């Protein structure tokens, strides 16, 4: 099952596409992972969110404006790895010098590795970096990922996304080179060559932060990689881990809720095969247009359940959609709380409304959040970011299916005239024996995970060495630690962020000691940068 179009930000879900059955009693026979994993791209472009929740988008931008920064542009090479005279493009970045203690004090530079979306979105949802910067005397920089937001090669998104030739420069390696060149030039222009850089990133941005620390150790002294599934690649982690964790998140709230959802797929297919069945489903789920097939509804529901697991935060949030605290609990309360005699599909319709219409502002639901049917993440997933997902028959509440590379490859060729390279990322950055790789070649990386987050199944969850540590929380969801602090934060979250801050202080202290800088007495509390 693979989801074709998905919601907001980054970042990125492989969703099932089911074949219609001739008989409702037949088992599902899914077209294997038709489209690429979308759990990351979900954080980048949700037109659905922006269309229905403009006021929430406005509040999100208001939240960003509380941070003082400037928007700048840097001229980047289109291809860092050749010397052809190719056109350059302007990379957008946000920069704040408000709290920077300056080059004389070796003031640190905090850099967030931009994800697969508009950089302002990630800056607005990464309050942790903004909040700790003053105590460190840190500069804050949010560079945007090429081919997203305003950082478009070839002058426009239409031209940049035109074909395989124009999209060929959209790779993780080129993005890391962008970040490295930008940081190097920025430090030179500010006479800050000796100032240490610390990287931050969540989801795909977290993957980039970890990889950049490994590939460019001279550029940054450490990286906080939150919810970074660097192991979600071929033959490394079980491909069913993502959907198993989503399913467990529902089952832990309510077994009956889990069972209702598990039974709903057959009920949905059966209803869709009836005369006027698609019309009935359209009305039942309050869709804005008539269903063309049941696959569309399957994908729409799959998206909701997957993202609910990712943002199953303990307090209300509007990261992907405006949601209550513990949103899965609320979904199951709706499903289980229907009167006796309510059909399975009616229960599911009630439950999914928590995700798509918690505010009650939506009159009908749009199935299409990307009318073009393609975005930058589709390209990345069809080339190097090949993340196989499958669904197991026993532990998953989703229909059983296995990732089929041949079918996936065929669709990528149809869409882009390109063949995926599933082993390239692990060749480039490692992963097959990640513990040995990191222990031998790496240092100063925090991998933070919340075990409610389905991406934790593809993340590093064990300590590797004294300086490469995994900070895990049982109740945490998708890079919750990077979000701004709130009065509702549970103690375990406060402690997680405090530990991260202590580790970053240790990296900086070690760097200053190696540089011969004398530490002021209060540097250990993060209140001041060192002096020379």
Active-site residue flag, 218:
no
Using an 8 Å Cβ cutoff, are 153 and 161 in contact? no
Angle between helices 294-310 and 255-273 (to 10 degrees): 160
Euclidean distance between the first and final Cα of the chain, in Å? Answer: 58
Task: Kindly report the number of other CB atoms within 10 A of residue 424's CB atom.
Answer: 17
Active-site residue flag, 527:
no
Active-site residue flag, 41:
no
Catalytic choice (203, 241, 264, 456)? 203
Q: Name the 3-class secondary structure at 223.
A: strand
Tokens of 40: 């990351």
Task: Kindly report the number of other CB atoms within 10 A of residue 26's CB atom.
Answer: 11
Using an 8 Å Cβ cutoff, are 37 and 381 in contact? yes
Q: Name the 3-class secondary structure at 457.
A: helix
- Report residue 51: phi and psi, to 5°: -65, -45
Task: Kindly report the number of other CB atoms within 10 A of residue 437's CB atom.
Answer: 16
Rg, the chain, Cα only: 23
What residues contact 427, with CB distance under 8 A and at least 6 apart?
Answer: none
CA 497/CA 182 separation, integer angstroms: 28
Catalytic choice (453, 456, 479, 481)? 453
Using an 8 Å Cβ cutoff, are 369 and 46 in contact? yes
Three-class HEC string of 90-133 = EEEEEEECCCCCCHHHCCCEEEECCCCCCHHHHHHCCHHHHHHH
Residue 244 CA neighbour count, 13 Å, CB half = 15
Tokens of 16: 């099932």
Burial of 417 (0-12, 13-18, 19+ CB in 10 A): exposed
Which single residue is written with the structure tokens 């605290």? 325
**109-112 vs 89-96, strand pairing mode:** unpaired
Which single residue is written with the structure tokens 């019309």? 279
Three-class HEC string of 168-191 = CCCCHHHHHHHHHHHHHHHHHHCC
Using an 8 Å Cβ cutoff, are 250 and 328 in contact? yes
Which single residue is written with the structure tokens 């049982």? 474
Catalytic choice (396, 478, 479, 481)? 478
CA 72/CA 359 separation, integer angstroms: 36
* Active-site residue set: 203, 453, 478
């Amino acid at each position: 099952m693979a989801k074709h179009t998905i919601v907001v930000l980054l970042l990125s879900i492989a969703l099932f596409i089911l074949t219609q059955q001739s008989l409702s009693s037949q088992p599902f026979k899914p077209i294997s992972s038709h489209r690429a994993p979308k759990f990351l791209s979900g954080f980048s472009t949700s037109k659905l969110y922006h269309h229905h929740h403009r006021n929430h988008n406005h509040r999100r931008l208001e939240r960003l404006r509380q941070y003082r920064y400037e928007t700048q542009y840097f001229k980047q090479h289109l291809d860092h790895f050749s010397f052809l005279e190719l056109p350059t493009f302007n990379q957008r970045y946000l920069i704040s010098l408000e709290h920077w203690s300056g080059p004389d004090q070796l003031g640190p530079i905090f850099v967030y590795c931009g994800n697969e979306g508009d950089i302002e979105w990630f800056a607005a949802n990464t309050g942790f970096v903004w909040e700790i910067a003053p105590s460190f005397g840190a500069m804050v920089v949010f560079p945007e990922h090429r081919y997203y937001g305003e950082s478009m090669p070839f002058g426009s998104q239409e031209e940049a996304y035109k074909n395989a030739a124009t999209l060929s420069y959209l790779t993780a390696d080129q993005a890391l080179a962008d970040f490295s060149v930008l940081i190097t030039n920025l430090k030179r222009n500010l006479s800050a060559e000796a100032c240490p850089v610390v990287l931050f990133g969540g989801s795909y941005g977290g993957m980039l932060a970890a990889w950049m620390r490994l590939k460019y150790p001279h550029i940054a002294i450490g990286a906080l990689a939150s919810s970074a599934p660097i192991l979600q690649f071929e033959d490394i982690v079980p491909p069913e881990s993502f959907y198993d964790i989503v399913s467990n998140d529902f089952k832990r709230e309510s077994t009956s809720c889990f069972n209702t959802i598990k039974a709903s797929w057959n009920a949905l297919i059966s209803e869709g095969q009836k005369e006027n069945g698609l019309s009935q489903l359209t009305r039942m789920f309050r869709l804005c247009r008539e269903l063309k097939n049941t696959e569309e509804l399957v994908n729409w529901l799959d998206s909701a359940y997957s993202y609910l697991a990712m943002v199953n935060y303990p307090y209300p949030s509007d990261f992907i959609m405006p949601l209550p605290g513990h949103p899965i609990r609320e979904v199951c309360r709706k499903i289980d709380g229907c009167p006796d005699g309510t059909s399975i599909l009616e229960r599911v319709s009630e439950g999914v409304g928590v995700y798509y219409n918690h505010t009650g502002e939506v009159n009908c639901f749009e199935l299409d959040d990307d009318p073009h049917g393609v975005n930058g993440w589709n390209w990345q997933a069809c080339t190097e970011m090949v993340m196989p997902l499958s669904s197991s028959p026993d532990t998953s509440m989703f229909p059983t299916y296995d990732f089929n590379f041949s079918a996936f490859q065929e669709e990528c060729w149809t869409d882009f005239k390109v063949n995926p390279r599933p082993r390239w990322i692990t060749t480039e950055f490692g992963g097959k024996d990640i513990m040995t790789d990191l222990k031998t070649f790496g240092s100063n990386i925090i991998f933070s995970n919340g075990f409610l987050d389905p991406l934790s199944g593809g993340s590093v969850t064990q300590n590797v060495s004294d300086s490469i540590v995994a900070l895990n929380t049982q109740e945490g969801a998708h890079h919750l630690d990077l979000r701004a602090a709130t009065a509702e934060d549970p103690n375990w979250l406060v402690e997680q962020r405090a530990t991260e801050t202590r580790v970053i202080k240790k990296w900086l202290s070690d760097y200053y000691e190696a540089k011969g800088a004398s530490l002021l007495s209060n540097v250990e509390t993060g209140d001041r940068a060192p002096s020379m």
